[in-house]
Amino acid sequence: MKIGKYEINYIQTGFFALDGGSMFGVVPKPLWEKTNKPDDKNRITLGARCLYLKSDSKKILIDTGIGSDWNDKFNKIYKVEESNPDIINALVAKDINPAEITDVILTHLHFDHTGGSTYFDGNKFVPTFPNAKYHVQQDHFDWAKHPSEKDRASFVEDRFMPLAEEGILHLLHDEFQFDDEIEFIIINGHTFAQQMIKISDSSETLLYCADLMPMHSHIPVPYVMGYDLQPLVTIKEKKEILPQAVEGNWKIIFEHDPEFAAATIQKTDKGFSVKEKYKELI
């Protein structure tokens, strides 16, 4: 699909799994398992869907997936599939030259969003896209370096500190208009200073909402992850974003939905729900 000057596609970098209860917080299992079937360890399958935008002058990647070069213990806990392509192979499969990536926009620095930002070169972790500028919020970067006991396991410094050490990490301050089509919107419920990416022109809007609503099954307002640092803030943010999505007929991009890439939203007497789901961006 095209919005403004950008051709847009998604890059599926594979699948992993997280505990279903953690993914839905206080929502009872008999409700969430209707849409997300757990395995024998109560884990549900998640995708790692990145977004790729191409214009005459820019080739932009939004998030980099869970990445590779993890140890066996990590792969077993998170059910990282052996068939997962790393971000480089996923791009090549779409006929995209990784060396030409100009910008990498990171919604936040949890390992399943920035895992592919670096790779192990046999000696140390180095940037996957050394010719690109990586963009993340300063406040979030500061938090990632000194997280709480609750979310410490979500941050793996090898997956983001090499970007700063190589001088290619661009630290932003609050909401930011990247260009005519791309806007960064700050939210703080899931983690501090996460940035959603809004892509729009006069006729269409996409919202890459990262972990505000990671799957289509998170559209109902009370469906909030147990991982969220401030769940009541997440609820407030959903109440602000969802009416705009309904009014503007936005397509919401789901980073972690294993099947559906996007959906439009409707408001009914029972609250917000999916209007139409899309497996591809059209």
pLDDT of residue 82: 83
DSSP letters for 142-178? HHHHS--TTTGGG--GGGTHHHHHTT-EEEE-SSEE-
Q: Identify the bridge partners of residue 49 per DSSP, sorted by sequence position.
A: 12
Q: For 181-220, list the strands marked E by DSSP.
A: 182-187, 194-200, 205-208
* Cα end-to-end distance, the chain, whole Å: 5
Show the tokens assigned to 74: 């990590």
Which CATH architecture best describes the domain 2-278?
A: 4-Layer Sandwich (3.60)
d(CA 224, CA 218): 7
CA 214 centroid distance within chain: 7
pLDDT tens, residue by residue, 155-191: 999 999 999 999 999 999 988 899 999 999 999 999 9
pLDDT tens, residue by residue, 80-117: 988 888 999 999 999 999 999 999 999 999 999 999 99
pLDDT of residue 33: 98
pLDDT of residue 281: 83
The answer to whether residues 206 and 259 touch, using CB atoms and an 8 Å cutoff, is no
For strand 251-253 and strand 205-208, is the pairing parallel, antiparallel, or unpaired? parallel
Domain spans of the chain?
Answer: 2-278
Compute the C-alpha angle 227/228/234, nearest 5°: 150
pLDDT of residue 81: 87
pLDDT (tens place) for every residue of the chain, 282 residues total? 999 999 999 999 999 999 999 999 999 999 999 999 999 999 999 999 999 999 999 999 999 999 999 999 999 999 998 888 899 999 999 999 999 999 999 999 999 999 999 999 999 999 999 999 999 999 999 999 999 999 999 999 999 999 999 999 999 998 889 999 999 999 999 999 999 999 999 999 999 999 999 999 999 999 999 999 999 999 999 999 999 999 999 999 999 999 999 999 999 999 999 999 999 986
pLDDT of residue 83: 86
